[in-house]
Amino acid sequence: MTAPTGEHVKIREVGPRDGFQNEPEVIATDDKVRLVEMLARTGLRRLEVTSFVRPDVIPQLADAAEVLRRARIPEEVAVTVPIPNERGLDNALALRDRFQEVNLFLSASETHNRKNVNRSIEESLNGLERVIGRALAEGLRAEGVISVSFGCPYEGHVPAERVFAIAERLAAAGCEEVAFGDTTGMANPAQVRAFFDAARERLPGVELTAHFHNTRGQGLANVLAALESGVRSFESSFGELGGCPVPRGATGNIASEDLVSMLHEMGYSSGIDLEALVECAREVQRVLGRALSGHVVVAGPVDWHEGG
């Protein structure tokens, strides 16, 4: 792989939503707001803050409106809000001035989509196409998110052709960006390389984003494979928080601080202050009262230990 010369890589931090939603104990709203504000001042330019989902399904996000209203986020940070359906969009639009992007999500397997949102893939697409149209009319940027793009814990292999067909529907509806989620950590680097090589051919003009989980320890290896295929946009979660509400055992996203550390060591730029990001991960450990599984939060960035 040719060494980059400061080439920029985009990172969307998803911890305050994707990370927090998997926590069994409800995190205080004050702590959520404080952590969001800390993250927003690390140099991150994309930040997923919360989601307007049913509070009886994900109680952790019941305070979505309050968090979005209270958090003081610099103007240069694009705030993203995942939207599950038209009702979620209605709720979010009450705070339209507080965010700029929406994520519209569904799964690439029928079984996972049924378990996650209780709809078929076609039903989800039909609903999301309406949501995307309304979001664009409000001046919002739309990102499609396709879960279990690299394998489903219920159905096993997910054909790439099916994933690309869904992505093409989302792009045709107006999504400028499509994220492909390795939701339960089933991807491997060879698969990722071939997948994104094909995706670039199938989806010209669409920003391709990779969303990897570290369930089986291959998260950063998959990032490297995606980089080699030309991907320059990733999603990650500070402290390696997160997972998937279904099924059990779907552990966290790749850690943002580990991702940024690797990118910087390889010569890529992200615009993110790694030391500030590590402090965010350490602070969320204090809030949760337990150690997290990210590596750099323990070892520190490489340059902290020169001569040690």
Alpha helix (H) residue ranges in the chain: 29-39, 64-70, 86-93, 110-117, 121-137, 160-173, 189-202, 219-228, 256-266, 274-288, 296-299
pLDDT band at 88, cuts 50/70/90? very high
CATH class of 10-305: alpha beta
With CA atoms as reference, report the closest residue to 265 among 294, 296, 235.
296
The CA distance from 87 to 85, in Å, is: 6
Given the residues 152, 175, 244, 280, select the one marked as catalytic: 244
pLDDT band at 73, cuts 50/70/90? very high
pLDDT band at 3, cuts 50/70/90? low
The CA distance from 265 to 101, in Å, is: 30
Q: Which two tokens stand for residue 21?
A: 């939603």
Kindly report the length of the chain: 308
Q: What is the pTM of this model?
A: 0.95
Q: Residues 138-181: pLDDT tens digits?
A: 999 999 999 999 999 999 999 999 999 999 999 999 999 999 99
**Residue 282 CB coordination number (10 Å):** 17
175 a catalytic residue: no
**Residue 31 CB coordination number (10 Å):** 15
Q: Which amino acid is at 252?
A: G
User: How much of the chain exceeds pLDDT 70, in percent?
Assistant: 94
